[in-house]
Amino acid sequence: MCAQKTLVMKFGGTSVGSAEALTNAARIVQDAKRDWGRVVVVASAMSGVTNLLLDSASLAATGKVDSLPQAESTLREKHFAAADALLRDETARAQTKADIAALIQSLVDLCRAIAILGEASPRALDAVASLGERMSVLLLAVVVDESGIPARAIESTRFVVTNAHYQNAHPDFDATAKRTRVALFPLLDAGVVPVTTGFIGATPDGVITTLGRGGSDYSAAILGAALPADDVWIWTDVDGVMSADPRIVPAAQTLPEISYSEIAELAYYGAKVLHPKTIRPVVDRGIGLRICNTFNPSHPGTRLVVNAKSNGKPANGRVVKAVTAIQRQRLVTIEGRGMLGVPGVAARAFAAVASTGTSVPLITQASSEQSICLAVPSENAEAVLSALEKSFAREIEDNDIDRVWATDDVSIVTVVGAGMRHTPGVAGKVFSQLGDNHVNVLAIAQGSSEVSISFVVEAADTEKAVRALHSLIVAG
């Protein structure tokens, strides 16, 4: 294998969302190629495109295709405007526009087929959703190539092998590693930068799948592990991982360094800067990970490390490192005196929830075993309630379970910091701060790793809670 160092760079939707953004991305690839022998680029769809594609498919499933010409026009205008502004070579520009036009026609054909069938299957939706990335890499590859760095667009369906769980497919890492090396090593050995599609893969039979929304980060990590790369850089539109959502806390700061365990908690509990699945492939292979800003490339961003400094405490001595929130959740509770000491209640409850395909971000249970409480996304709450009532119908009829019920919308607020495990009294400070700001806590959960504390608050108290807890960071 080539001894040159390998870098995988992923550019998000806003980082390829306009002619200016594409120019910035190409310049970043140029700079990286000076320092790294082998560079692989992963690109998302241009910002807003995936939503437009899926909205078109959803409308088609109801028989509405009147909006297709407008969608076609919007896609053509967005991509062609960038091509006309950036591509100097007339032949390359004409070919790129023709290739993009063919993909836009694929959308029209798919949506008309969906309208005839009257439904959009998960497989069909993946075929539709894949089109955004497939268009964007055609543009970015030529922009990079014309900047003086040889580049070639290559669809990840050729080497990212997944199962057939459409819309949230799982990669086969061994098969992906073999195909990735066959597809990309010849390009890399020739000094060419492969520009490949994020978010999508294919079954062993070649049927297009997607890795779930936001899955381009995950794609970069998968490729990083498959090559393997020395580093993976995620280029986005912020200066790295922030201590809180700056829309809620204007004083939020970029974290120069964060541990994998901390970013895992933040990504899971609502921080949008990184897809939660991105972390495992790079951790397993010991690959470096950095989050940077396409529009401020001189900023060092946030570097992920295996362990935070100073035995788990951040270098600046702050125990709490970041605060995040997941909104639009509902708290579902199963309660009843007849649950006391009865084996298998929790197992049946989680099996019922799993049958709805719902992910549960938070669970608590009273020590008396008289209630189990779990948080679910608001849009899944009714399905979860129905499944639980069906599963426990006999116990409800016999009054062993008093009721299964759900709150109105709530939020899960999470305080993250690896230094919390070494510092007594952090939980006391957190809840004192909430109490001083008149925020009522509905439920609490803390993992055994002690990297985070999560609690549920009323939806109306979300911003107040986040701001109050962020002041603990500022205070050090």
- Please compute the mean of the pLDDT values over residues 109-119 and round it to a whole number: 96
pLDDT of residue 263: 83
Strands 200-202 and 208-210: antiparallel
Say which DSSP state 16 is in: G
- 24-33, 184-193, 364-373, 460-469 — which is least confidently predicted? 364-373
* Per-residue confidence (pLDDT) for residue 436, from 0 to 100: 95
Query: CA 136 to CA 49: how far, in whole Å?
Result: 10
At 44 the pLDDT is 97
What count of other Cβ atoms lies within 10 Å of the Cβ of residue 344? 8
pLDDT tens per residue, range 362-410: 998 866 668 899 999 999 999 999 999 999 999 899 888 899 999 999 9
Give the residue ranges of DSSP H helices in 36-148: 49-61, 68-86, 90-117, 122-129, 131-146
Domains of the chain plus CATH, in order, are 6-237 (3.40.1160.10)
Summarize the confidence of residues 332-356 as an average pLDDT. 86
The sheet with strand 231-236 has its strands ordered as 151-154, 193-197, 38-43, 6-11, 231-236, 288-293, 302-305, 257-259
Reply yes or no: is the peptide bond before residue 228 cis, omega within 30 of 0: yes
| Separation between Cα atoms, residue 142 and residue 88, nearest integer Å | 10
Q: pLDDT tens, 72-91?
A: 999 999 999 999 999 999 99
pLDDT-based confidence at residue 449 (cuts at 50, 70, 90): low
DSSP per residue over 126-181, as a string? HHHHTHHHHHHHHHHHHHHHHTTS-EEEE-GGGT-BB-S-TTS--B-HHHHHHHHH
Band (337; pLDDT cuts 50, 70, 90): confident
Higher pLDDT, 267 or 26: 26
Average pLDDT, rounded, for the chain: 91
Residue 369 and residue 339 in contact, taking contact as beta carbons nearer than 8 Å: yes
pLDDT at 315: 44
Q: In one letter, which amino acid is 375? A: A
For residue 305, pLDDT beyond 70: yes
- The rounded percent of the chain whose pLDDT value lies above 70 is 93
Q: How confident is the model at residue 343 (pLDDT cuts 50, 70, 90)?
A: confident
Q: Of 23-27, 156-160, 383-387, 427-431, where does mean pLDDT reach its minimum?
A: 427-431
Residue 318: what pLDDT? 63
pLDDT score, position 312:
44
Task: Identify which of 342, 411, 414 has the alpha carbon closest to the alpha carbon of residue 371.
Answer: 342
Average of per-residue pLDDT across 422-450: 85
Query: Rounded to 5 degrees, what are φ and ψ at 23?
Result: -65, -45
Predicted confidence band of residue 214 (pLDDT cuts 50, 70, 90): confident
pLDDT at 467 exceeding the cut of 70: yes
Whether the pLDDT of residue 178 is over 90: the answer is: yes
Structure pTM? 0.85
